[in-house]
Amino acid sequence: MALKERPKPFLLPEYCKGCGRCLDACAKDCITLSDQINPLTGLVPVELDLANCNACGLCMDACPEPYGLRPAHEGEIQDFELEDPAKIFGVKPSDALEPVDIPSEVLPLPRTEPLVIKGTYASALGALIAGCRHVYGYPITPSTEGAELMAKFLPKLDGTFIQAVSEVAAVNMMYGTAGAGLPTMTFTSSPGFSLMLEGVSYMIGAELPGVFVDVMRGGPGLGNIAPEQSDIKLACHGLGHGNTQAITLAPSTPQEMLDLTILAFELSFKYRNPVVILGDGYLGQMTGKVQLPESMIKPGIPKWAVYGDAMHRKNLISSIFLTETDLEAHNVHLNAKYEAMKVEARAETFLCEDAEVVLIACNTPARTAKGAVQDLRNQGIKAGLFRPITLWPFPVEDLKEAIRGAERLVVVEASAGQLEDEVRLALSKAGVRQFPEIESVRRMGGILPQQNEIMAQVLGQKEVRA
Amino acid sequence: MSKASVFYDKFERHSHGEGLKGHATHYCPGCGHGLAHKFLAEAIDELGIQDRTVAISPVGCSVFLYYYFDVGNSQAAHGRAPVVALGHKFANPDSVVISYQGDGDLASIGLAETVSTAQLGAPITVIFINNAIYGMTGGQMAPTTLMGQTSSTSPSGRNEYNGQPMKMAELIAGLDGPVYVERVALYDAKQRIKAKKAIHKAIKLQVEGRGYSFIEVLAECPTHLKMDPEATSKWVKECMEPVYPLGVKKDLTVDPWFKRNPPCFKGEKLLSLAGATYEHPVRSCKGFPTHLAPQDISLKLAGSGGDGAQTAAMLIARAAINEGFDATHIPSYGPESRGGTSYADVHVAEDEVLNPGAPDPQILLAFNTPSLTKFGPTVRKGGTVIYDSSVVTEAPVLDPSIKVFPVPFTGIATDLGKAVVKNIVALGALQAATNIFPKDTFLTAIRVALKDKCALIPLNEEAFAWGIKSVEALEK
């Protein structure tokens, strides 16, 4: 067998940065640094004199540039400097396949009797029904039960639960799984959600889906573990750095914890954007009647995913846009998406049609307010409840309708006015200048407003504190 | 030797592939990244895994790895690459995931992620470029900067107040998770061959499902060391290598273990995990107990942890829902993990529970004196109070409209041989005192709750019957 002749190197000088690693590698001293600056690069490339070259190949091994020193094949490029690089290297950047969507399947789920379960449990089941088999989390009261349930369920479904080293790690595991195109979620509570915000911003930037169930607790700082509606501002206006928004859902019953978790996954994939579910500690612990749906999801793989197979090889998950105009265009695209999300605004109105006093509340305080509405009606007062189900986008059209005949607006919340700020901002952006003065029933520190406090406010009694 | 096919034919992502950038890397002359990229590309080629590879490029000079590698690419936040890699690996266990990180990324901001991922041991490959400096941000001190080495944030040289340089390969090798850890260099042909082999091996171990591997590459950064490329190579050899000795730090022989089944999407399996039932429960109620309230009944159960107040509350809620009503149960506990207070707010409504809290209940079930003292006065006029007369010796004076039933929950349960069934005695008493639901409604709920512990059903039924009898005796 004849020895195959080894190729000698060739080099396009404009692809040489002159690092000189090849100089040492050559035993025949064929390579020298030029004394001319290459006008195309401003760098000083090496020069080859291949008279003594024995084609050992070590110079090519030493060259760090993919298109630097390369083998000159026989009969190929002779006068390579005159060749168009596109002709030498080809114009096709990649032979990777063009990815297509592998759609999700909707599978039937036999009808069952209603379950009697806690809100957190309902949310976990909702995630499983929505096709989520990858959950990452870090224990934090009062959301820990979610992680515990997933740690129990997922191995039985050949799914993955990893207890991360921190919330920062958990959200980035979500980034990876979401990048691979699969549904993923976490359970957390306020301080943990703060830590996750860096990752949320990256997910929004890289357009990744993912569901965050934040069982809000008292703050700021360590605060306490009792229920507070402390993260409305964070979810609606502070999802990490940059131009970020995410649909934010506020369930008020265990049934809604299930339904809205399923919806969250759907919206998250529809818009390629995280979705936040804000719960409160009461809701997480509250047991109630939960009817399961009659279908479940087996997720597919979206065409944009980096799944790690031939179909998705050409894809990139990234939030970097180094060129200013590229990043501006990306933000214009994100804004268009945020605008499109506005059709997802949802609200419940309860006895608002003829209401003169409209209470505005979400989460567990909305249920307390509902009880108050009933009591007020029993006392002959035309009261109603407006309950935003999406806090962002705020259901302002529904609000406008609900408060049309209202003489009084009372915002009931377990925070220092975060919900009221959303109401005011929504009305202001919608150009509503005329509305009744906003009254408030607020508790903080992990105390929810009580029905008697709402009654006292509406009836003009002296403040009652439970 | 020739361009690895893993490199794009044209770097379209590098300034849109315009001009020379379409075929040149963004690295400075003499930078170590280029060679590390090349060895990585060659290993991917040789192992035939281009389609399966996912490269994670976090913040640092190598964040633009995706300009060059024709593989699945995921760009990560500063320091988070290894956990992003885990997210990809567990999403698709057949993918080959490579986390390519610099020293600021891996050894500083991402230290927690680095160490915990290594300890977890799932098969991913970490390529760690140690050039003793921050490159992208412009030459600041890295955790790997040598003692005495100047940088823009250690202008007089790293000193004892900056601490000693981090020896990551040794640190990672000291963990139980990794199977293979090696430190290599690029400064001469011999080291380059070793580096190439190490990277190949590290990825092969992942492909075979054997575990986590970590390759530290001592690399040159002439720009920020302010030396020419040749001097930088020499500096790596003469200054860095003594601090960061080359060689294999850990190499375990491990059988392939990382095998994961595809996730299950069988509805029946999911429903059985959820504890869902298909059978319509037997209903015994003729209608909503309007003799107690027209639409909504509120109850409070209060005791100490271990009294079973929460279980009893849950049984009431289940019983109500089985009968087609709505119900809620909110537990609240004292801060203690064991013992302490344990209260439950329960609502039963014909259609929908509006307010699930029970600050002024119609019915109070109290398991001890403090609970009775605390909540007795909150009970609405005309309401019902049932308490454990075995432990409550002195009952507070309550509104005369309130019906009070002292029943020795604990005494009866102890006589039955199991003190823990005192909450079931209490439920029996509740049934008899209020007739909120028929006996069978409770018994059905108790049997369903004990379906996995059938042997306990007779005892619980007896306890329930004794609760009823005690109230009947009081009424006679």
Inter-chain CB proximity B331 and A285 less than 8 Å:
yes
B458 SS3 class: helix
- Percent of chain A having pLDDT more than 90? 87
Interface test with A, best of B228, B232, B270 (most A CBs within 10 A): B270
The tokens 């390969």 sit on which residue? B169
Convert the pLDDT of each residue in B160-175 to its tens digit: 999 999 999 999 999 9
The tokens 């980096």 sit on which residue? A306
User: Are residues A422 and A374 in contact, defined by beta-carbon separation less than 8 angstroms?
Assistant: no
CA separation for the pair B463, B428 (Å, rounded): 7
- Percent of chain B having pLDDT more than 70? 98
Which pLDDT score is estimated for A255?
97
Asked if B439 has any chain A CB less than 8 Å from its own CB, the reply is: no
**Low-confidence winner among A407-416, A427-436, B263-272, B277-286 (lowest mean pLDDT):** B277-286
Three-state SS string across A42-76, please? CCCCEEECHHHCCCCCHHHHHCCCCCCCEEECCCC
- Percent of chain A having pLDDT more than 70? 94
Chain A: nearest CA to B303, how far in angstroms?
18
Task: Closest CB to A318: pick one of B3, B66, B274.
Answer: B66
Closest residue in A to B75 (Cα–Cα): A318
Provide the b/e sequence for A227-239 (b: ≥16 CB within 10 Å).
bbbbbbbbbbeeb
Q: How confident is the model at residue A160 (pLDDT cuts 50, 70, 90)?
A: very high
Q: How confident is the model at residue B394 (pLDDT cuts 50, 70, 90)?
A: confident
Convert the pLDDT of each residue in A183-221 to its tens digit: 999 999 999 999 999 999 999 999 999 999 999 999 999
* Mean pLDDT value across residues B306-315: 94
- With 80 as the cut, is the pLDDT of residue A3 above it? no
Convert the pLDDT of each residue in B185-195 to its tens digit: 999 999 999 99
Q: How far is CA A426 from the centre of its chain?
A: 23
Closest Cα partner for A177 from B180, B92, B96? Answer: B92
Convert the pLDDT of each residue in A266-313 to its tens digit: 999 999 999 999 999 889 889 999 999 999 999 999 999 999 999 999
**Low-confidence winner among A126-130, A176-180, A186-190, B353-357 (lowest mean pLDDT):** B353-357
Task: Closest CB to A57: pick one of B1, B74, B357.
Answer: B1
* Mean pLDDT value across residues A427-454: 95
Chain A and chain B share a number of CB contacts under 8 A equal to 343
Q: How confident is the model at residue A89 (pLDDT cuts 50, 70, 90)?
A: low
Which pLDDT score is estimated for A4?
61
Which pLDDT score is estimated for B280?
84
Inter-chain CB proximity A157 and B269 less than 8 Å:
yes
CA separation for the pair B416, A38 (Å, rounded): 98
Inter-chain CB proximity B356 and A367 less than 8 Å:
yes
Q: How confident is the model at residue B395 (pLDDT cuts 50, 70, 90)?
A: confident
Inter-chain CB proximity B76 and A175 less than 8 Å:
yes
Which pLDDT score is estimated for A2?
47
Convert the pLDDT of each residue in B408-460 to its tens digit: 999 999 999 999 999 999 999 999 999 999 999 999 999 989 988 999 999 99
Asked if A191 has any chain B CB less than 8 Å from its own CB, the reply is: no
Which pLDDT score is estimated for B282?
86
- With 70 as the cut, is the pLDDT of residue A163 above it? yes
CA atoms within 13 A on the CB side of A304: 12
Q: How confident is the model at residue B32 (pLDDT cuts 50, 70, 90)?
A: very high
* Mean pLDDT value across residues A134-144: 94
What is the largest distance, in Å, between two alpha-carbon atoms of chain A?
Answer: 106
Query: Which H helix or E strand runs over A387?
Result: strand A383-388
Convert the pLDDT of each residue in B4-14 to its tens digit: 689 998 999 99
Which pLDDT score is estimated for A51?
93
Q: How confident is the model at residue B104 (pLDDT cuts 50, 70, 90)?
A: very high
Chain A: nearest CA to B230, how far in angstroms?
7
CA separation for the pair A275, A212 (Å, rounded): 6
CA separation for the pair B404, B387 (Å, rounded): 8
Which pLDDT score is estimated for A462?
59
CA separation for the pair B211, B201 (Å, rounded): 12
- With 60 as the cut, is the pLDDT of residue A466 above it? no
Asked if A116 has any chain B CB less than 8 Å from its own CB, the reply is: yes
The pTM (predicted TM-score) of the whole model is 0.94
- With 60 as the cut, is the pLDDT of residue A463 above it? no
**Low-confidence winner among A10-19, A354-363, A383-392, B211-220 (lowest mean pLDDT):** A10-19
User: Are residues B355 and A367 in contact, defined by beta-carbon separation less than 8 angstroms?
Assistant: yes
The dihedral region occupied by A272, where left means phi > 0, alpha psi between -120 and 50, and beta the remainder, is: left
Convert the pLDDT of each residue in B123-138 to its tens digit: 999 999 999 999 989 9
Asked if A161 has any chain B CB less than 8 Å from its own CB, the reply is: no
Which pLDDT score is estimated for A93?
64
Asked if B278 has any chain A CB less than 8 Å from its own CB, the reply is: yes
User: Are residues A394 and A411 in contact, defined by beta-carbon separation less than 8 angstroms?
Assistant: no
Chain B: nearest CA to A306, how far in angstroms?
5
- With 80 as the cut, is the pLDDT of residue A74 above it? no
B367's CB contacts (< 8 A; 6+ apart) are B301, B302, B303, B304, B307, B308, B309, B387, B388, B391, B409, B422, B423, B426
Convert the pLDDT of each residue in A402-424 to its tens digit: 999 999 999 999 999 999 999 99
Chain B: nearest CA to A202, how far in angstroms?
7
CA separation for the pair B238, B258 (Å, rounded): 40
Which pLDDT score is estimated for B333?
77
Asked if A327 has any chain B CB less than 8 Å from its own CB, the reply is: no
B295 SS3 class: coil
Three-state SS string across B311-374, please? HHHHHHHHHHHHCCCEEEEEEEECCCCCCCEEEEEEEEECCCCCCCCCCCCCEEEECCHHHHHH
In this prediction, the answer to ipTM > 0.90 reads: yes
Helical axes B111-120 vs A167-179, angle rounded to 10°: 70
